[in-house]
Structure 1
Amino acid sequence: MAHLDEPAPTPYAPPATGTVTVYRGATLFDGTGAPARPGMSITVDGARITAVGPDAEVPAGARVVELAGRCVIPGLIDAHQHLATPPNREAAEAALRRQVYGGVTAIRDMADDLRHIADLTRGTLVGEIPGPDIHYAALMAGPGFFDDPRTWQVSQGETPGHVPWMQAIDDDTDLVMAVALARGTHAKAIKVYAELPAHLVAAITAEAKRQGIGVWAHAATFPATPGEVVAAGVDAVSHITLIAQEAADEPLTSYKTKPLLDVERLTGDGDPRLDALYAAMRERGTVLDATASMWTFLGEQAGDADAKARAAANDTLSAKLTADAYRAGVLLATGTDYETEPDEPFPSLHLELRYLAERCGIPAAEVLVCATRTGAISAGALADMGTVEPGKLANFVVLAADPTADLANLSTIEYTVKRGHRFDRADYTEDAR
């Protein structure tokens, strides 16, 4: 190259390897399922945790951070976000900033304009901008889906359905090439979305697995039922109210014409078809990204009485079925699929966690496992994150009060450590948002 400019500043970059910090005296909830332990130290070298254990002698040359009276939990993971539908750089960066200063160290972006998302992913990874790590999906759907206006929003300048990050799939598609194109976007997974029959969901999943990329799916892809989607071997499914379509009394035909469900019956007596589905998900290890609180948000945003009534019915269904699925042993990740208003101090994930406790009856400590370890499983990233253990990325949150006693205590965040870099909450609250 004839000319090389200076790279952009990286004020949020991880510290260099050899920079050792010991966080001492914390009460640690490590996300593994073990109870919180007092008097614990976390040793961090650069971006990674090298030791976790009872307070002991500090290595020579290490910086010490005293955490007596503080609680530490793993970094939170939002398993369902959209940052670029349509792309808006200012809004996306503001959301990412609020997330990381609110304890969120990773998200799954569930298909967007990946030209935009890839740059945000690089920016948060190298430390140009503050934000969680982003694990994103490239979308595949049937040709009938691509008159949806959102597909145009994320394909500006190109043709929806004919770009590597958003492909129309039918029986004539060369799936080897389609999956390879999706992988070329650096996506961590393929999102299987809508207007796809069971045999194509299975074929996409098989080819994706062969090429070493994950598969995240809508729980029903119309005409494929939730049971058929799970049987295809996908890694995770989204939206508990789509899971409910397993109990539909009519065939699933199109994403645009979903069968009506007997919400009163499902929230009362339940349905053996759902019980069988939960058992299959538990046996396969299929993660459920329930987006449980989404209908509360949509109800608040609804502009007329009918829309509010529909949202309220779905909200009741969401709470009941999410609780049922969790108690049946299904792995539950905490996705939101919405974000709080720009002037709100904390990200939507805090609301999702409180919903799971308050509306679904899940104990706070177990909700935190859903938001950490299971979130990492949903992103295919458990080797690197989700728990506070040696070898993992140094992703954790320091709080003044115990969130395992009350999830409202998440608002007592003092700082987030992401890849070893410290994001002080005071720097967010003092900054104009």
Structure 2
Amino acid sequence: MTLTSENAGAAAPFAPPEAGTVVVYRGLTLFDGTGSAPRPGMSIVVDGSVIHAVVPDADVPGVLAALTAGAGRPADTEADGAGRPADTEADDAAAVEVVDLAGHFVTPGLVDAHQHLATPPDRPIAEAVLRRLVHSGVTAVRDMADDLRQVGDLARAARVGEIPAPDIHYAALMAGPGFFDDPRTHQVTQGAVPGEVPWMQAVTDTTDLPLAVALARGTHATAIKVYADLDADLVAAITAEAHRQGILVWAHAAVFPATPGEVVAAGVDAVSHVTLLAHEAATGPLTTYKDKPPVDHASLVTGRDERLEALFARMREQDVVLDATAGMWASAELAGDTPETSERAARNTDLAIALTAQAHRAGVQLATGTDYETAPGEPFPALYEELAFLVRHCGLPAADVLRSATLVGARSAGKDHLTGTLEPGKQADFAVFAQDPLADIDHLRTITLTVKRGHRFPRTAYTADRPQENR
């Protein structure tokens, strides 16, 4: 028996194209995510999985001449607005393909900054969610701590192109020992002991933090998620050690007993759940995750509470990203079916609206996370609902929401040097819409094409085997 094999392994039909495969997407209106105003009559020149140039249509011949000089590549073939080659010769692999997107609106790929793909693990469901996401313009997600045995394999399969899926950036969780009787921790550690596995560790002031962080990094996690039942000193110590070892820290906005202000002071990179920030104005001391004190709801829903204003100022100064999950409590999945649960959801929704708007006014970077998914039969993901909630209920301008869903989302995952804007040298990650989402955020539902790392995912490929959605 040898340790190597010449077997090619699993098929990778969704893999990024090789360098030297040149595609020009022309005639589009471009929202590049950099803060520039949308520009009509633009072209994106993609070489393999990377953006080579973003130029006015008239400049494309010069770009191609320089790119193909000495390569012997013939000039163009055509493709229609859904991303299908119109007249490409099958044996002409070196051709520069042109995709006509006249009348279409293009944004960087969308990012869902708060997903859970394996609590509990269910591979068919996870793959169905990922397939819907990537055919809806989503090119990356943050998985916020799950069974990383499954999530790691999903991330690998997505990256190499075995499955249609966004890129997956995930966290390993750390919390105090008291948290690990939560049923979810048992779901994600089946066959092992909750709190004693590298992706879900119980931490105390006697924990060997360099070893704990190294174990978390060994899962290939992008970040450590600081969750619950940790005091301020431990949150700060975990954060310092994680950063020393080159890994991000994503935290619940209140960790109990650590307050939101203490979590931010610890130097974390991102915090989740805007409603948890309300505990900066709690009416009693924070103790444990299971015993949350009341908050000063009447003051907070004004959107002018000075305690939150000071917190948001610190977040802005430290570039802490807020994964708001603002619309979560208004979703059908969390609205509740009893008077008590409905009232709780309504109060949390009011808080989310007020605090998200206040954070935006204060200049805090907002990422667009969901923490739930729409039902399996729905044609579009929860991320569309979150973006609409931010525009319609929180009053954010659509341009700011699209920036949150692209550049800030990439930044929340520590990947904004690779993706999140449409610029030369970045990954070819973008979404194509038949109508302008800046004019109406519901125009997200006119998605025609996703390009992820240069590979095309036409929306028609998703709807073709789901005829009920076309009725």
**TM-score normalised by the shorter chain: which range applies?**
over 0.9
Q: 1:299 to 1:344 in 2, by over 3 A?
A: closer
Is structure 2 residue 320 aligned with structure 1 residue 286?
yes
Alignment counterpart, residue 166 of structure 2, candidates 124, 132, 141: 132
CA distance in 2, matches of 1:431, 1:133: 23
Instruction: Identify the residue that residue 295 of structure 2 maps to in structure 1.
Output: 261
Once the two structures are superposed, the pairs formed by residues 14-33 of structure 1 within 5 Å of their partners are 14-33=16-35
Match of 1:92 in 2: 126
Structure 2 CA distance, aligned partners of 1:416 and 1:269? 37
Partner of 1:153: 187
Q: Is the 8 A contact 1:299 1:307 kept in 2?
A: no
User: 1:37: which partner in 2?
Assistant: 39
Which of the residues 343, 352, 360 maps onto 1:309? 343
Q: 2:209 & 2:413 partners in 1: Cα distance?
A: 23
After superposition, give the CA deviation of every residue in 1:378-409 in whole Å (9 maximum; x if it has no partner): 00000111011111100001111001111100
Question: 1:303 Cα deviation (Å)?
Answer: 2.5
Once the two structures are superposed, the pairs formed by residues 21-420 of structure 1 within 5 Å of their partners are: 21-55=23-57, 56-58=59-61, 59=64, 60=75, 61-268=95-302, 270-297=304-331, 301-420=335-454
Encode CA deviations 1:208-259: one digit per residue, 9 max, x unaligned.
0000000000001000000000000000000001001001121100110101
Residues 34-93 of structure 1: per-residue CA shift (max 9 Å, x gap): 110011110101111010111123324411111111111000000000000000001000
Q: Percent of aligned pairs with the same residue?
A: 64
Structure 2: tracts of 5 or more residues without a match: 65-74, 76-94
Q: CA deviation at 1:432?
A: 3.6
Q: CA deviation at 1:262?
A: 2.8
CA distance change for structure 1 residues 165 and 94 in 2, over 3 Å: closer, same or farther? Answer: same
**Residue 10 of structure 1 aligns with which residue?**
12
TM-score normalized by structure 1?
0.98
Q: Distance in 2 between matches of 1:269 and 1:365?
A: 22
Q: Is the 8 A contact 2:26 2:42 kept in 1?
A: yes
State the Cα distance separating 1:300 from its structure 2 match: 5.3
C-alpha contact (below 8 Å) 2:432/2:448 kept by paired residues: yes
Larger Rg: 2
The one-character-per-residue Cα deviations of 1:120-163 (angstroms, maximum 9, x if unpaired) are: 00111101000100000000000010000000000000000000
Q: Find the counterpart in structure 1 of residue 78 from structure 2.
A: none
**Which secondary structure does the structure 2 equivalent of 1:371 belong to?**
helix
The letter of the residue matching 1:57 is: V
Q: Paired residues, what number?
A: 433
- Describe the superposition over 1:3-48 as per-residue Cα deviations: whole angstroms up to 9, x where unpaired: 7344111111111110000111110000111110011110101111
Following the alignment from structure 2 to structure 1, what is the Cα–Cα distance between the partners of residues 113 and 302? 28
User: In 2, distance between residues paired with 1:249 and 1:99?
Assistant: 40
Q: Distance in 1 between matches of 2:329 and 2:207?
A: 35
Given that 1:299 and 1:312 are in contact with CA atoms closer than 8 Å, whether structure 2 keeps it comes out as: no
Matched to 2:398, the amino acid is A
Q: Deviations over 1:313-347 (max 9, x none)?
A: 10111011101001100000000000000000001
Q: Is the alpha carbon distance of 1:269 and 1:241 closer, same or farther for their aligned partners in structure 2, counting shifts above 3 Å?
A: closer
Aligned AA (1:11): P
Equivalents in 1 of 2:445, 2:15: separation in Å? 25
- Amino acid in the other structure paired with 2:12: T
Q: Partner amino acid for 2:126?
A: A
Q: 2-side partners of 1:94 and 1:285: how far apart? A: 34
CA–CA separation in structure 2 for the residues paired with 1:40 and 1:268: 43
Give the secondary-structure state (helix, strand or coil) at the position aligned to 1:416: strand
Unaligned 5+ runs, structure 1: none
Q: Aligned equivalents of 2:47 and 2:200: distance in 1?
A: 39
Give the 3-state SS of the residue equivalent to 1:366 in structure 2.
helix
Instruction: Give the root-mean-square deviation of aligned CA atoms.
Output: 1.2
With normalisation by structure 2, the TM-score equals: 0.90
